[in-house]
Amino acid sequence: MALNLWVTLIAVWLIANASLDTQVVVTGLVLATLISLALSRFSNAYADIRVTPQVLIHSGLYLLVFAQELVRANLHVARLVFSPRIDIHPGIVEIKTRLRSRTGRMVLANSITLTPGTLVVDIDGDSLFVHWIDVEAEDLEGATRAIAERFERHLSVIYG
């Protein structure tokens, strides 16, 4: 059984139920155990994560950075939508990632896609191709810095 998957499922269960009632906790433990046993042989996604104090700290910091980027991107897109004149420069840019694990790249791609105004359309090796609603930098380094750098800083610690 994958311990990381089990812990994640327990955490999600407890957060979703917002209760530490005995029945809720026992049900969560049983379900997490059954799901972990059933899925652990099909996926090694959690094998990339090492549970250390440093990883836990960077996981929390990543969530804060993601929340900041989510709010910032929502405000930017709202400003574009409510502007009397839409002045955008959409395009597809290539960014490079330093992340080596497949799971880390997947989390990065999902993080970029979940922030409004950007959508990862393809991944090829260490390149991610991102549709950007308002391209701020067309060069590889500038686009990588603007889109992925804040996420990668923490994901590189979590996923190695």
pLDDT at 160: 72
Q: Can you tell me the distance from the alpha carbon of 114 to that of 91, in angstroms, rounded to the nearest whole number?
A: 17
pLDDT at 44: 64
What average pLDDT score do residues 119-140 get? 92
Does residue 68 share a domain with residue 38? no
Q: Can you tell me the distance from the alpha carbon of 77 to that of 155, in angstroms, rounded to the nearest whole number?
A: 25
| Confidence bin at 43 (pLDDT 50/70/90) | low
Q: What percent of the chain has pLDDT over 90?
A: 57
Does residue 142 share a domain with residue 112? yes
Q: Who contacts 41 (Cβ-Cβ below 8 Å, separation ≥6)?
A: none
What average pLDDT score do residues 61-70 get? 95
Q: Is 115 domain-assigned? A: yes
pLDDT at 46: 60
Q: Is 48 domain-assigned? A: no
Q: What are the respective helix, strand and coil percentages of the chain, to the nearest 5?
A: 60, 10, 25
- Average model confidence (pLDDT) for the chain? 88
Does residue 80 share a domain with residue 36? no
Question: How many structural domains comprise the chain?
Answer: 2
User: How many other CB atoms sit within 10 Å of the CB of residue 97?
Assistant: 20
Does residue 108 share a domain with residue 31? no
User: Lowest-confidence range among 37-41, 54-58, 99-103?
Assistant: 37-41
Q: Can you tell me the distance from the alpha carbon of 123 to that of 96, in angstroms, rounded to the nearest whole number?
A: 10
